[in-house]
Amino acid sequence: MTTTTVIDPYAVAAPASRRQFLHGLNPLSKVIGVAPAMVALVFVRDMTTPTAFLLVAYALILVGARLTRRTAALLLLALPAGVTAIGIGFSLWVDAARVDDTAPVLQLGGWTLFAGALDIGFATGLRLGAILALALIGGLTTTGPDLVRASVQQLRVPYRIGYTALAAFRFVPRFGHELAVIRAAHRVRGHHGGSGPFSRIARGWGYIVPLLAGAIRHAERVALAMDSRAFGAHPTRTERHLVPFRTRDWIFIALCLAASALIFIITFRF
């Protein structure tokens, strides 16, 4: 008898060393510490401020997070490429009449790309990149269950809402596993259907019905499991895993707020 194990990436995080301190912090502290800076970055228009926050976020992640190949690719390849693409794209969309008093950088026929347009475009790209990098401080070092537990325990979010949302969120990896099983079953039965684009569309339609059937079966099992544990029968529930808010969480929040204020004070144009 063969047993198939489904790995849930949102359930339990691997143990982290002391150097990877971000994994040991309360999830809410990593949200509270960077949220003011993320909101304030929406209103800045220079390139110095988002660049400073981008460097601080990178330093925190590289020092305090568990680095994997996917994380390294996201930080070193995907995020810089996205910032560059957004910067170039927004530079091309800027109205030339607003920046025609700056130096021309590129001219093609009657169209001219001015330095002011590049400044606006890359300021926007850096701003979005800095906001994303700050969000990754908590996103890369927090699991879904821990965030839900912290919200229920510290923010007093009703557990009916938190754990229901978490159960729905866990359907995503389950769907991926079901789709892989369906594809393997089709290949075993010889349902290839060719290799052209129309054949791929036809195979995709063939996955819909069994995928929906698997989703319904999984939803029924989850509902029965929740009912058997008296989910929703009482206003509160006893937590098996506690996510405390420690002194180090307050220190992290204070340091993040102080660093954010210092960056804005230094880069603000008085």
Question: Could you read off the pLDDT of 67-80 as tens digits, one per residue?
Answer: 899 999 999 999 99
Pairing of strands 104-108, 111-114: antiparallel
Q: Which residues of the chain have pLDDT under 70?
A: 1-19, 191-199, 270
**Computed from CA positions of residues 19, 24, 27, 32, in that sequence, does the dihedral angle turn out positive or negative?**
negative
CA distance from start to end of the chain: 72
Task: Please report the pLDDT score of residue 16 as a whole number.
Answer: 53
21's CB contacts (< 8 A; 6+ apart) are 64, 248
Q: Under a CB-based contact definition with an 8 Å cutoff, are residues 104 and 114 in contact?
A: yes
Whole-number Å distance between alpha carbons of 245 and 247: 7
User: Is the pTM for the entire model greater than 0.85?
Assistant: no
Burial of 66 (C-beta count, 10 Å sphere; 0-12/13-18/19+)? middle
Task: Please report the pLDDT score of residue 86 as a whole number.
Answer: 95
Q: Helix (H, G, I), strand (E, B), or coil: what is residue 244?
A: coil
Task: Please report the pLDDT score of residue 91 as a whole number.
Answer: 92
Task: Please report the pLDDT score of residue 260 as a whole number.
Answer: 96
Whole-number Å distance between alpha carbons of 212 and 54: 42
Helices 115-139 & 79-93 angle (0-180, nearest 10): 150
Question: Could you read off the pLDDT of 98-115 as tens digits, one per residue?
Answer: 888 888 888 888 888 899
